[in-house]
Structure 1
Amino acid sequence: ATVPEYQGKGYAKAMIDFIITKYREEYSTLQVGTGDSPMTIPFYEKCGFVRSHIVPNFFTDNYDHPIYEGGIQLVDMVYLRRSF
């Protein structure tokens, strides 16, 4: 997650690029899990990730309180993958 005041400045993309560069010799795929949110899914897709699978009810089953992002309650965990 990026502090809101620093979002949109390329820091998260730079971190993903760094991880890929550092680990591309050891691994062939980077996987991320996130809530099904219009704030995060498009970011990962823009970085070359594609949806892999969903863990239904992840947030409602594993947290003792509702988790919201951008005014939307997160329910399912969405996994995305990027091969390199």
Structure 2
Amino acid sequence: MREVLAGSWKLIATAWRIDRRKTIVSVALMVAGAVAAPLVALALGRMADAVLGGPEQAAALSRGLVTVLCHAGLNLGHNTHNPKI
């Protein structure tokens, strides 16, 4: 595990020296993609509650939130590796 962490820090340090803006954007996208995944579970729970006993508007809003979070979770991590960011 130490070797993985040391290698990760060395990689980030090298990327930082090469292009600081791209490094910041890439790290931000990776973090946002990682945060989106657990939020999908919370949004699905909220959507289930709204579908079972809440108003239609709350269910529709929750559906939209689940859609956005799923899209973010799938695409942000992928776009982190895009050299044109």
| TM-score band w.r.t. shorter chain | under 0.3
Which one has a larger percent strand, Structure 1 or Structure 2?
Answer: 1
Larger radius of gyration: 2
TM-score (ref. length: structure 1): 0.26
Bigger fraction of residues in helix: 2
